[in-house]
Structure 1
Amino acid sequence: MAACEDENENSSNKNDGDTSFSVIHKKGDLFTCDFSESLAHCVSKDLRMGKGIATLFKQNFQGLSELKAQAKDVGDVAVLKRDERFVYYLITKSRYFDRPTYETLEDSLKAMKTHCVTNNVKALSMPKIGCGLDKLEWDQVEAILTRLFQDTGIVITIYSF
């Protein structure tokens, strides 16, 4: 599995046991990562996706009716299958203008983790989820992400420009 290359790559293995788990930070375009890597981002239950990186997910992967048909609630994850990868829509708030909480983000991440483990996902790429328009603090989000995924062996790549 090839990962996106970047001169500014920063990797940190935050697990003493399973050394295959890691969080890698890369500068660059999330959508240039390898097609074998699954993708994730945060959305509202109303699935408006009218601002930020969500608009790019909406354009690149379509499937709005497929997502709506899943009828997911806050704290869940909606999933699209595109070729060999999954695209995860973490439902962290009710309406597009609401703000998520760390609790709703954690619930959505738990749901995504379950899907990843069940479906043998080995690599997951995402932006600094919940930290752009949603205004959560990255240090807290990364701590949640690490705590939840450290026993999975999944390589998580975080993209930023």
Structure 2
Amino acid sequence: MSTSIQLVLVFAVFQIRYAKGDLFSCPSTDSLAHCISEDCRMGAGIAVLFKKKFGGVEELLDQQKKSGEVAVLKRGDRYIYYLITKKKVSHKPTYENMRKSLEAMKTHCLNNGVTDISMPRIGCGLDRLEWSKVSAILGEVFEDTDIKITVYTL
């Protein structure tokens, strides 16, 4: 009589979905995320569109968030995440601050039942971070969650 033992390994694979098109055309149930500086200037790039669409600059400033944290606005049934990745608008973010901001966003998502986030290629436009590194950090931060992330490109 022989006994065989099977070992089954199951790996959870975090996936980032990609969509071509306007970020603001995402489902209205998705929360949104992008990067800003502590001074909440939002004077260039996609940040200008966030400022026009959602306002709330004073509300963001009142939160007094620092680099590596996340400021949050609630608009309707969704959250708008402002990843604070640098001190001043003229500075460049670090990958470490990006990671810390994403961790802060993840904590807020888990505490508030957020399951879907849409975002641009965060930190990779005017801030010039490398998407291959940022997407790897995203994967590491969110791998143990069921939060779905969709990245929009034009």
Q: What is the TM-score normalised by the length of structure 1?
A: 0.88
Unaligned regions of 5+ residues in structure 2, if any? 1-9
Q: Structure 2: which amino acid aligns with 1:82?
A: R
Q: For residue 93 of structure 1, what is the aligned residue in structure 2? A: 86
- Partners of 1:22 and 1:154 within 8 A in 2: no
Deviations 1:102-121 (A, max 9, x none): 00111100000000011111
Distance in 1, matches of 2:95 and 2:105, equals 15
- Size of the aligned set, in residue pairs, is 145
Where does residue 110 of structure 2 map in the other structure? 117
Query: Equivalent residue for 2:134?
Result: 141
For each residue in 1:42-81, what CA deviation from the matched residue of structure 2 results, as whole angstroms up to 9, or x when unmatched?
A: 0000100000000000000001111011010111000000
**Structure 2 counterpart of 1:37, from 1, 26, 30:** 30
Consecutive unaligned residues of structure 1, counting only runs of 5 or more, are 1-14
Question: Would you identify which runs of 4 or more consecutive aligned residues in structure 1 move more than 2 Å?
Answer: none
Structure-2 residue corresponding to 1:66 = 59
The alignment partner of 1:109 has SS state of: helix
Aligned to 2:46: 53
Q: Specify the code of the residue in structure 2 equivalent to 1:150.
A: E
Query: Which of 94, 98, 110 does residue 105 from structure 1 map onto?
Result: 98
2: CA distance, partners of 1:23 / 1:70: 29
The one of 9, 13, 16 aligned to 2:11:
16
Match of 2:152 among 153, 156, 159: 159
Identity of aligned residues (%): 55
Query: How far off is 1:28 after superposition?
Result: 0.4
Alpha-carbon distance between aligned partners in 2 of 1:81 and 1:104, rounded to the nearest angstrom: 23
Report the AA paired with residue 103 of structure 2: K
